[in-house]
Amino acid sequence: MENTFAISVTVNGTPYQRSVDPRTLLSDFLRYDLGLTGTHVGCEHGVCGACTVLLDGEPVRSCLLFAPQVDGHEILTVEGLGTLDDLHPLQEAFRETHALQCGFCTPGILTTLLPYLEENPNPTEEEIREAISGNLCRCTGYQHIIDAVKLAAENMNP
Amino acid sequence: MLARPGLPDFEYMKAESPQDVFRLLEERGGEVKLLMGGTDLFVQMRDGNESAGILLDLKYLPGMKDISYTKKKGIKIGAAVTLNQLSAHPDVTNHFQILSQSADTVGNYQLRNRATLGGNLCNASPSADMAPAALVLEGEVSLSGPDGERVMALDQFWVGPGKTALKEYEFMTAVCFPNPPSGAVGRYLKLGRSKMGDLAIVGVAVLGYPDPEVPAGIRFRIGINSTAPTVYRVPQVEELLAKAPLSDDILRQASGEAMKVSAPIEDVRATVLYQKKMVNNLTFKGLKEVWSQLINS
Ligand SMILES: Cc1cc2nc3c(=O)[nH]c(=O)nc-3n(C[C@H](O)[C@H](O)[C@H](O)COP(=O)(O)OP(=O)(O)OC[C@H]3O[C@@H](n4cnc5c(N)ncnc54)[C@H](O)[C@@H]3O)c2cc1C
């Protein structure tokens, strides 16, 4: 391929060097090039929040970024949170309170909440609703997600 | 390796100096798209409304992400400052609070980590949420071109939907706001289809400040979006409010005048009548809130 862009990026702590077509969306790069399919792709217009990942610690839409833009940066995807045997307290809380049904929106919600709960250890229900207002969930009606965030906040900051 | 189906081929470049930008614009003008957060541009490209041979990223140019404040001159905000950075910056929250209020209404938190002030203003959308506050704060934009920098009042900058006064080889480097008059209070009210995440059906920014020179004792500035080809102020309404002692009736009359000035078109979000009525309601609500805050302080 003639028009390629060389990128170095750290994803979930692992450094990667890849040559990409500049048109590759970050979401597609993560899913297809790195095989990290935990990042889901919903609306592809920046609305639904399913593709949220952390870029240098801040939540962003990976469908609104091209891969060359993350050259030299750090990404955290949902795979970087915990493992099946060792869930992150946030994931544990989601399981505990049944905060997911189909689970499509869950990775984006988890990555949105991770830095949020670090900065806001004791959010009120209103604040939680605002924190997840950029993430659409079509199954749960959000109530159990809110329960999960409350539980996670307690467990993360005992 | 998968490239987005349907997206035409393009190169991605980071501009390192303004000269890089001028040179590329001169050599490959029509092909170049200037890029900040990309939250407007990428969606347009995805939907086939925009195409680019080169995406030229301006965010890494020196000074583009700086915010500086002085008591004398006010604030200078680099065009590449993101809306979340802007919203939380102490100089903004202390002196230009209405900018924080406005920024917090844009899309969603994740988007605002990428979306920039410069992108919001350069996109020249009639519904841009930063524009009404930027107008009532009487902002000026710094534009950089091969012949140097020029400064332009924001009310000259937008010339139509998606159209700015930027010349062919120019780009925006920063936005400056003078300190608002002392005692000023500002409020941005946005009505969307949902509480969060949608574009404005109507947005109204009201800035009020004590002014003993006018019969009302208070002066207001009003900026409105989404209801005309560009975001606009309503000087005739501002004058009307200054002329007589304030009362609910005067505020109502003024809001009615603002509604008459508004010129919305029917779109996917609302009918003309609804938008007009909402200009009336939001203007009244904004004036009333600012007025109450001023007389209680
Ligand atoms: C899901 C979603 C929701 C949104 N909600 C809102 C909302 O509620 N309110 C709102 O106002 N907007 C909204 N937007 C639009 C957009 O996010 C904002 O307007 C944002 O501020 C644009 O900034 P950006 O840095 O991403 O601009 P970009 O997309 O990078 O640029 C926008 C345009 O300006 C030009 N440009 C950028 N920088 C310069 C420069 N320095 N000099 C010259 N030209 C330049 C670009 O070439 C492009 O044409 C939304 C977008 C999405 C995808």
B229 touches chain A (CB under 8 A): no
Residue in chain A closest to B199 (alpha carbons) equals A47
CA distance A99 to chain B (A): 21
ipTM of the complex, rounded to two decimals: 0.91
- Measured at the CA of B6, the angle between CA B14 and CA B126, to 5 degrees, comes to 65
Of A3, A22, A49, the CB nearest to B108: A49
- Amino acid (1-letter code) at residue B44: Q
Would you call A22 an interface residue with chain B, using a CB distance cutoff of 8 Å?
yes
Task: Answer for the pair A132, A100: CB distance below 8 angstroms, yes or no.
Answer: no
Distance, CA of A93 to CA of A151 (rounded, Å): 6
What pLDDT score does B8 carry?
82
Helices (H), B29-186: 41-46, 83-88, 90-95, 97-103, 109-112, 117-122, 131-136, 154-157
Residues of chain B scoring pLDDT < 50: 1
For B18, residues 6+ apart whose C-beta sits below 8 A from its C-beta are: B61, B144, B171, B173
CATH topology assigned to domain B67-177: 3.30.465
For CA atoms A120, A122, A124, A129, give the dihedral sign.
positive
**Cα gap B297→B292, rounded to integer Å:** 9
pLDDT (0 to 100) of residue B3: 58
Q: Rounded to a whole number, what is the distance in Å from the CA of A69 to chain B's nearest CA?
A: 8
pLDDT at A138: 95
| B177-214 confidence digits (pLDDT tens) | 999 999 999 999 999 988 777 899 999 999 999 999 99
User: Which of these, B50, B38, B53, lies nearest to B118 by C-alpha position?
Assistant: B38
Q: How many CA atoms lie within 13 A of B214 on its CB side?
A: 18
Residues carrying CATH 3.30.390.50, chain B: 185-296
Task: Give the burial string for A57-74 (b: 16+ CB within 10 Å, else e).
Answer: eebbbbbbbbbbbbeeeb
The class that CATH gives domain A5-80 is: alpha beta
CA angle A86, A89, A92 (to 5 degrees): 75
Q: What is the pTM of this model?
A: 0.95
Distance between terminal CA atoms of chain A?
A: 53
CA atoms within 13 A on the CB side of B252: 3
CATH 1.10.357.10 for domain A89-156: no
Around ligand 1, the residues with Cβ closer than 6 Å are A 45-47; B 33-41, 43, 58, 79, 106-107, 111, 114-116, 118-120, 122-123, 128-129, 166, 171-172, 199
Domain locations along chain A: 5-80, 89-156
Q: Which among A45, A64, A110 is the top mutation candidate for probing chain B, defined by the most B β-carbons within 10 Å of its own β-carbon?
A: A64
Q: Is the dihedral of CA B67, B71, B72, B74 positive or negative?
A: positive
**What's the mean pLDDT in A66-84?**
96
For residue A102, give Cα distances in angstroms to A98, A120, B24, B195, B200.
Answer: 11, 27, 48, 25, 31
Fold of B11-57: 3.30.43
Where along chain B do the CATH 3.30.43.10 domains lie? Answer: 11-57
* B50 reaches A (C-beta below 8 A): no
Check CB contact of B3 with chain A, cutoff 8 Å. yes
Choosing from B123, B154, B164 the residue with most ligand 1 atoms within 8 A of its CB, the one to mutate for a pocket test is: B123
CATH fold of B185-296:
Enolase-like; domain 1 (3.30.390)
Q: For residue B5, what pLDDT is reported?
A: 62
Chain A residues with CB-CB distance to B1 below 8 A: 1, 20-21, 24, 32-33
